[in-house]
Structure 1
């Protein structure tokens, strides 16, 4: 047995994680703007590479954060993503069902853009609804367990 103290892993903390994500967002945003400004034949390849590299970095950040999180934090996030994300997805499915039964009309009347923009809007709204559901469920979990 050694007389040396056990070294604990340094925790980044919530504010440190948010700061790291802010810096990463600023770097990616700046690089994306530079890629758009320079243009050229390699624009699509550079943007794809930027998205892949950013995704790998964010996944690494999430893994480090998850390993440092205690059991209560992990349980709160799992519960919130399951119930809140599911509720957000259910809301989107209800809207989709109403649109498919022609109860509501989701297509803008004077839309003159690319149809892919409508798909991206739908994806963004779905993720947004899931995230709002997650935030509500996460807050509810913490309020109940305080």
Structure 2
């Protein structure tokens, strides 16, 4: 046995994780662009693999950040995602219903050609509404708990 105290694990700082996230994003974007430029039959599977690796690294960074976050930060994010994200989904559901009943006209430009473009546009609108709801709820939580 050693008489030395056990080494304490130093958590990565917020700025370190932010920088790591930027590097992962740049690496992912660069690799996908390089694969696209080279082209070939294997380009789509290689891009899918690059995306999977990038998302996995992003999730690992999020996990490290979450483990280092204090209780107030965790609570703010959980509350904001639950209420803000739910409000965003609710807004999209209302728009969908009103548009289906021909009470309003929703003109979202398609993101790409064909049915896939419309599907991607719907996903973008839904995620955008959730993000806006989250940001509003997150700000409200912090303003109430100051």
What are the within-5 Å matches in structure 2 for residues 71-82 of structure 1?
A: 71-82=71-82
Give the Cα–Cα distance (whole angstroms) in 1 for the partners of residues 69 and 108 of structure 2.
44
What are the within-5 Å matches in structure 2 for residues 7-86 of structure 1?
A: 7-86=7-86
Structure 1 residue 55 displacement after superposition: 1.4
Aligned length in residues: 145
Structure 1 residue 19 displacement after superposition: 1.7
Q: Which runs of 5+ in 2 are unaligned?
A: none
Structure 1 residue 10 displacement after superposition: 2.1
Q: Taking structure 1 as the reference length, what is the TM-score of the superposition?
A: 0.88
Asked if 1:118 is matched to 2:118, the reply is yes
Q: Which runs of 5+ in 1 are unaligned?
A: none
Structure 1 residue 3 displacement after superposition: 6.7
CA pair 95-26 structure 1, distance change in 2 beyond 3 A: same
Give the Cα–Cα distance (whole angstroms) in 1 for the partners of residues 3 and 82 of structure 2.
45
Name the residue aligned to 1:94: 94
Higher RCO (C-alpha under 8 Å, 6+ residues apart): 1
